[in-house]
Amino acid sequence: MKNYIAALDQGTTSSRAILFDENGKPEQIAQFPIEQIYPQLGWVEHKPNEILNSEILALAGAIERSNISPTEIAGIGITNQRETTILWDRETGKPIYNAIVWQCRRTAELCDELKDRGLDPYIKKKTGLLIDAYFSGTKIKWILDHVDGARKRAEKGEILFGNVDSWLIWNLTGGKVHVSDYSNCSRTMLFNIDKFQWDEDICKELDIPICMLPTPVPNSMVYGAIAPRIPGLEAMEGIPICGSAGDQPSALLGQGCIHKGEAKNTYGTGCFTLMNTADQSIRSKNGLLTSIAWSLDEKVTYALEGSVFNAGSSIQWLRDGLGLIESAHECDILAESVQDNGGVYLVSAFTGLGAPQWDMYARGTLVGITRGTTKAHIARATLEGIAYQVKDLLSAMESDMGDKLQILRVDGGASVSNIMMQFQSDILRKPIDRPKVVETTAFGAAFLAGLAVGLWKDVSQIESIRKSDRIFYPEMDSRKAELYCRQWHRAVERSQHWIEE
């Protein structure tokens, strides 16, 4: 019986593979880190072949460590860091440049030029996005502009573009399938989210040949199969690749947020807050983004989204940049050793601010320091700063939806922090629901693949699979929470427009 699904979870800092059984239980996990490359201030890159090879190693490793035979695997689902941009040679499969990561700000000036040309309203109307260096479109243009002969070759159909989902599917199928699922397409700043096709006018404005773009496809269907003679995956030849979604909509599904108004937040390298808006592609009035969450059975589900660019990465900064802690857990221990933040606020705008401010020129700010400030106060301010930004996103979503959120479902590495989850509940004034199985991103992709091959029958089954581990309720006095939030917004103001344009 083919009762297992393999999920490839390709993230910003690592590649993972997880084997799920038919009850949604993760049976085995393998993970490999990937190198972070910083060529200049504000620039972030990955090696495309390292992304691919680390995922192959993870998949092979997960199977090797388990008692599961490849013949028991019904299909493969893929979830990935979105917006990260890869261009490669159609014939050789060799990348023509490093992957430009979603965090990279090198195209900020180009984005300003597009805004000056008055393109913001059109792009928001068609794509649901704002003009920002975050998205793939300007990254594609940058590579075409800076790699010798790239644009001419792209116009001839010799160069292909893909986000990480496309890159993995193309390579795992032996170069036979060049597709991208709707959720990933909707993060390129080139995709019409109401017509489900590439927007020719935007592509012309950015001088991007449409022939290099992947074919847009729904999120649950058989795209192709593992090709023969892939080193390390020989035993998996022929297994269908049949589910794909960007990491955040995949987590929305994996959290069981299948009804309108349900929301989740993932505390990863960044924070990503999504709210299900069902079949309505609502254009935000509060700086949020509109994206496609998934397409199933010819029905498209949309989501409102906001991003905190630096969440878990701000804890990493305490460890690797300042040397204040040796592990993420030590940040919790330090934070719990003091009663409050001592008046200290950290705005982790290391690569600018996302929604609702959208300030590419903001930078990290630490305010309220006195001689009495200790590293424990800074650790607490780091955790609280993440929670404040999530609250700002959800307040904007409630305004756009015209309705109040009932409960926030949470996942991601930093969601294990009890002190941060409690503080999140305190300032949000809502229950925070943490699941027993926190691998919601990977499970969302696995569920999409399982639907395609009949392991699961319909999307409603995910509600019975998801179980809560702990629910946090507000404990802080509401007036105290309001005071903290006012002080937070003062700190945000001081971080904005720091870099002179």
Contact partners, residue 127, CB within 8 Å, separation at least 6: 186, 188, 189, 190, 191, 192, 193, 199, 202
As beta bridge partners, residue 159 has: 89
Q: What does residue 334 show for φ and ψ, rounded to 5 degrees?
A: -65, -45
Q: Which pLDDT does position 67 carry in this prediction? A: 86
Residue 359 CA to residue 362 CA, distance in Å, equals: 6
pLDDT at 215: 97
* CA distances in angstroms from 42 to 108, 211, 349, 362, 381, listed in the order given: 10, 30, 11, 12, 23
Cα–Cα distance, 104 to 34 (Å, whole number): 16
What is residue 222's three-state secondary structure? strand
- Looking up tokens 């590293």, which residue turns up? 375
Structure tokens at 216: 């847009």
For the chain, report the end-to-end CA distance as a whole number of angstroms: 60
The pLDDT value recorded for residue 156 is: 94
Based on DSSP, count helices (H) and strands (E) in the chain, helices before strands: 16, 23
Which DSSP letter does residue 432 get?
A: E
Q: Locate all alpha helices (DSSP H) within 367-439, ordered by sequence.
A: 375-401, 418-428
Tens-level pLDDT at each residue, the chain (501 residues)? 679 999 999 998 899 999 999 999 999 999 999 999 999 988 999 999 999 999 999 999 999 999 889 999 999 999 999 999 999 999 999 999 999 999 898 999 999 999 999 999 999 999 999 998 989 999 999 999 999 999 999 999 999 999 999 999 999 999 999 999 999 999 999 999 999 999 999 999 999 999 999 999 999 999 999 999 999 999 999 999 999 999 999 999 999 999 999 999 998 888 889 999 999 999 988 889 999 999 998 899 999 998 888 888 899 999 999 999 999 899 999 999 999 999 999 999 998 888 788 887 899 999 999 999 999 999 999 999 999 999 999 999 999 988 888 999 999 888 889 999 999 999 999 999 999 888 899 999 999 999 999 999 988 889 888 889 999 999 999 999 999 999 999 999 999 999 876
The two structure tokens encoding residue 215: 């074919």
What would the pLDDT profile of 352-384 be if each residue is shown by its tens digit? Answer: 888 788 887 899 999 999 999 999 999 999 999
pLDDT at site 501: 64
Q: In this structure, are residues 396 and 287 in contact, taking their beta carbons and an 8 Å threshold?
A: yes
Answer for the pair 107, 141: CB distance below 8 angstroms, yes or no. yes
Q: Where are the alpha helices (DSSP H) in 402-428?
A: 418-428
CB 214 within 8 A of CB 180: yes
Contact 413, 328 (CB under 8 A): yes
pTM above 0.85, yes or no: yes
How far apart are alpha carbons 495 and 498 in whole angstroms? 6
Look at residue 452 in the predicted model and tell me its pLDDT: 95
Q: Say which residues have a Cβ less than 8 Å from residue 41's Cβ, sequence separation at least 6.
A: none
Q: How would you classify residue 165: left for phi > 0, otherwise alpha for psi between -120 and 50, otherwise beta? A: alpha
Which spans in 228-307 are helix H? 247-254
What is residue 225's three-state secondary structure?
Answer: strand
Helix, strand, or coil here: 269?
coil
∠ CA 332-355-273 to the nearest 5 degrees?
55
Cα–Cα distance between 201 and 193 in angstroms, integer?
14
Q: Which residues pair with 198 in a beta bridge?
A: 191
Looking at residue 95, its amino acid is P
Q: What is the DSSP string of 27-95?
A: EEEEEEE---B-SSTT--EE-HHHHHHHHHHHHHHHHHHSS--GGGEEEEEEEE-SS-BEEEETTT--B
406-418 pLDDT tens trace: 999 999 888 889 9
What distance in Å separates the CA atoms of residue 6 and residue 12, rounded to the nearest whole number? Answer: 19
Tokens 């941060």, located at residue:
420
Predicted pLDDT at 355 = 78
- DSSP E strands in 213-314: the ranges are 215-217, 220-225, 240-246, 263-267, 271-276, 289-296, 299-308
Q: Are 17 and 27 in contact (CB under 8 A)?
A: no
Cβ proximity of 339 and 376 under 8 Å:
no
Q: What is the C-alpha R_g of the chain?
A: 22
Residue 7: strand, helix, or coil: strand
Residue type, 328: A
Residue with tokens 């998949």: 59
Q: Specify burial of residue 290 (Cβ count, 10 A radius: 0-12, 13-18, 19+).
A: buried
**Three-state secondary structure call for residue 197:** strand
The mean pLDDT value of the chain amounts to 93
